[in-house]
Every structure is written in structure tokens, then in C-alpha cells.
Structure 1
């Protein structure tokens, strides 16, 4: 079994704001280099179970990234994640936003690597490096 990837960090922002920056203001901090179009006009999390996660290119083309499995603002978000991959290769990401003093502890856990067979372990490692970069950008934006 391939262990889940866990990234936990603090942001200097209230819980509600932290959740909203992740889900409604993603385009402010998500780097264009980590998108399908390379220059998205929007990144959308549809705010309900079954909602889509997708980027909209400048020409209006939508590129799917995942689907919402749990939408519990401001404390929890869970979704299938297949950015850059076919949906059959989706992993599952769960984010929790826990108040801590004047900030929020964010915990990201990504699982489902086993279903990728031999590709699971190297993809988990690459994804860990990507989340390390992305979460720094997110935390800076949330605090700003």
C-alpha cells in the first residue's frame, strides 16, 4: 500500500477566509505553469457535492481537474483530482481548515496512489514537490 501524501501548514488567516481563498480565489495563487491552458481565465470549484473543478481557458474551453466529493465550508473539502491525467487515474484529496489562534491550520491529504500501479509511487513523489510549492503560494495569498 502506498501511504497517503500529507501536507500540513499554517496560514495567517481566519478559517472562512482560508477556505474561500482555496475554493473561490484559486486563480490568484495557482501558477499558470500548473494549468492545462497555461493562461486560465478562471479556475472554478463548483460549491456542492458533485460539483466540477475546472479551468476555463481564455477562449472559453473548459479543462476538467476534478469533482467535489464533500463540500463543508469552512472546515472541509474533499475531491477527486485528475489535473493533467485521465479521470480513471484520479486520486482523492481531502483538505481540512482548522482554526488555530488567529490563523488556520490547513491539512491536505492525497490518497489513492495504489490504483495507479507502478506509476503510483513516482507520481506521489512528484505531486509532493508540487504541493510544497503550491501551498506556499496559497499561504502567502491567504495571509495577504
Structure 2
């Protein structure tokens, strides 16, 4: 049995949980780093279909779509689990499934603590440590959550 490999990041935002959840799920285009696009044309939108089993994908400026994964759990406004299905080659792999769990907790200040855990990176096999380093880097989830916090301000 292998040990779970995960990246854990958190950020406080000045929004109520409902608004933070909506920004993260319905308005991901507003903060997702454009350089993280993997489609064949420039990124136009990031789409999270708002239900369990919904698609998580990017749409290019030419209308093409590139799957990233799907929605594993949908519990607005407190929790969403997105199933990341991109291989180490940054291509959709329906056989691979890591979990991006995002929890939205109301803070005493009236804002929201947003905690992100990208779990099960060990499922990348030989590439697990490489992918951990990518997701753990300043340009990985840290940068994405920083952009999220800026969009929430």
C-alpha cells in the first residue's frame, strides 16, 4: 500500500462562502492562469458543470474543448471535489483520477477560509514526485489560489 501524496494550500478571501464557492466553480475563468491552458487554441473559458458527474474542461477561443476531469462531489457552498484527469503529459486520461478537494469555511472575520487539497498524486506512478513538485511550486496551486484571492478582493 502506497502513501498518499498530496498538496495542501489555503487562502482567506473577503467573501461569504456562497460567493467564494461561486467564484471558484462558476467563474474559474476569472482567475485560472492562462498559461495553464492545455488546449489547441488560446483559453477562452474554464467550465465546471455544477453537478456530480459534470465535466470540468476548457474551451478555446476557436470553440474547441479540452477535458480536464469531472465533478466528483458537489456540496455548495461548502465543498467541491474535482477529479483531475490530466496525465503527466498534460493530456486527458480517463484512466487517471486525482482529487482536488476545495473546502469553504466561514471565517470569524466574515470572509472565507478556502482550503485546497490535491490528493492521490501517488497515482502518477513513476511521475508522482515530479507532479507533486509541479503542483507544490509557486506556479502551481499557490499561484492559482493567489489569483483566486485577487479576483475575490
Q: Deviations over 1:11-38 (max 9, x none)?
A: 1111111111111111111121001236
Deviates more, 1:48-57 or 1:115-124: 115-124
Determine whether 1:31 maps to 2:39: no
CA contact (8 A) 2:5 2:132 kept: no
* Number of equivalent positions: 143
1:78 to 47, 63, 81: 81
2:105 to 78, 98, 103: 98
Quote the Cα distance in structure 2 between the aligned partners of 1:117 and 1:41: 32
> CA 1:125 to 1:2, structure 2 compared with 1: closer, same or farther past 3 Å?
farther
Determine whether 1:64 maps to 2:67: yes
Pairing 1:43-54 to 2, within 5 Å after superposition? 43-54=46-57
Backbone CA RMSD of aligned residues:
1.4
User: Given the two structures, how large is their TM-score scaled by the length of structure 2?
Assistant: 0.87
Greater share of helix: 1
Q: Deviations over 1:117-142 (max 9, x none)?
A: 12112211211121011110001101
Structure 1 gaps of 5+ residues are none
Deviates more, 1:91-100 or 1:110-119: 110-119
Q: Which residue of 2 aligns with 1:117?
A: 125
Q: Deviations over 1:49-105 (max 9, x none)?
A: 000001111111110011001111110000211342323233111100000022100
Q: Which residue of 1 aligns with 2:142?
A: 132
Shift of 1:114: 1.7
CA contact (8 A) 2:6 2:120 kept: yes
